[in-house]
Amino acid sequence: MTRDEALALLHEHTKGDGLRKHALAVEAAMRAMARRQGADEETWGIVGLLHDFDYEAHPTLEEHPFVGARILRERGVSDEIVEAILGHGNHTGVARTSPMAKALFAVDELCGLITAVALVRPTRSVHDVEARSVTKKMKDKAFARSVSREDIRAGAEEIGLELKEHVAFVIEALRGVAAEIGLAGARTGAP
């Protein structure tokens, strides 16, 4: 599957702007992780792009990401990609055995938290987000309460990085696609 095909599949199943931007953020983080590990950036990016493509229509634990996995298999997508996507949720029972699967788990929730931190900045820019701000917000259980702090910590551990280093790495990856994910910043104050 090419990136263009993956993007078309995402748009076919995901109409919401927020979930599309999340997919682009996770794609960017996965591409950065692939570069760091000398892995196939295109495949890792596609995994990031498609990990939640079925979520909008199938948001329950019983359906997501199982429905998406079925659709991908029907389209002939490799088991490597399908297994990584299935492994990004602890509820699936699918072990994360590949570096790609571990990376997806490690960046998914973190991308959501970094986005939330950026959106509460006056500038609404990921360029103004620092790792210490994100780790501080992790302690505030009321902030972005749907983001699993436990998964973020476990993900960093699974890929063998200190939490602060991992957060900084993902922030840097998201800065590269800030405009595409709506986090390039907004004008504030008087002209």
CATH number at residue 29: 1.10.3210
| Residue 186 placed within a domain | no
pLDDT at 82: 97
Query: For residue 53, what pLDDT band results from cuts at 50, 70 and 90?
Result: very high
For residue 89, give its domain range. 3-175
Name the DSSP class of 55.
T
How many domains is the chain partitioned into structurally? 1
pLDDT tens-digit readout, 147-169 = 999 999 999 999 999 999 999 99
| Residue 181 placed within a domain | no
C-beta separation of 2 from 77 below 8 A: no
| Residue 113 placed within a domain | yes
Query: For residue 181, what pLDDT band results from cuts at 50, 70 and 90?
Result: very high
Q: How far apart are CA 169 and CA 150, in angstroms?
A: 19
| Residue 184 placed within a domain | no
pLDDT at 186: 72
Q: How far apart are CA 160 and CA 173, in angstroms?
A: 18
pLDDT at 110: 98
pLDDT tens-digit readout, 107-158 = 999 999 999 999 999 999 999 999 999 999 999 999 999 999 999 999 999 9
| Residue 182 placed within a domain | no
Query: Which residues partner with 125 through β-bridges?
Result: 184
* Encoded amino acid at 92, one letter: T
Give the list of residues 6+ apart from residue 84 with CB closer than 8 angstroms, or none: 47, 51, 96, 98, 100, 101, 104
Helix 41-50 with 99-120: angle, nearest 10 deg: 60
Query: For residue 190, what pLDDT band results from cuts at 50, 70 and 90?
Result: very low
Identify which of 5, 4, 24 has the alpha carbon closest to the alpha carbon of residue 16.
24
| Residue 11 placed within a domain | yes
What's the chain's average pLDDT? Answer: 95
Q: What is the mean pLDDT of residues 48-67?
A: 97
Would the pLDDT of 187 be above 80? no
The Cα angle at residue 48 between residues 25 and 23, in degrees rounded to 5:
40
| Residue 18 placed within a domain | yes
| Residue 80 placed within a domain | yes
pTM for the full predicted model: 0.95
Query: For residue 191, what pLDDT band results from cuts at 50, 70 and 90?
Result: very low
Identify which of 41, 178, 61, 73 has the alpha carbon closest to the alpha carbon of residue 118.
178
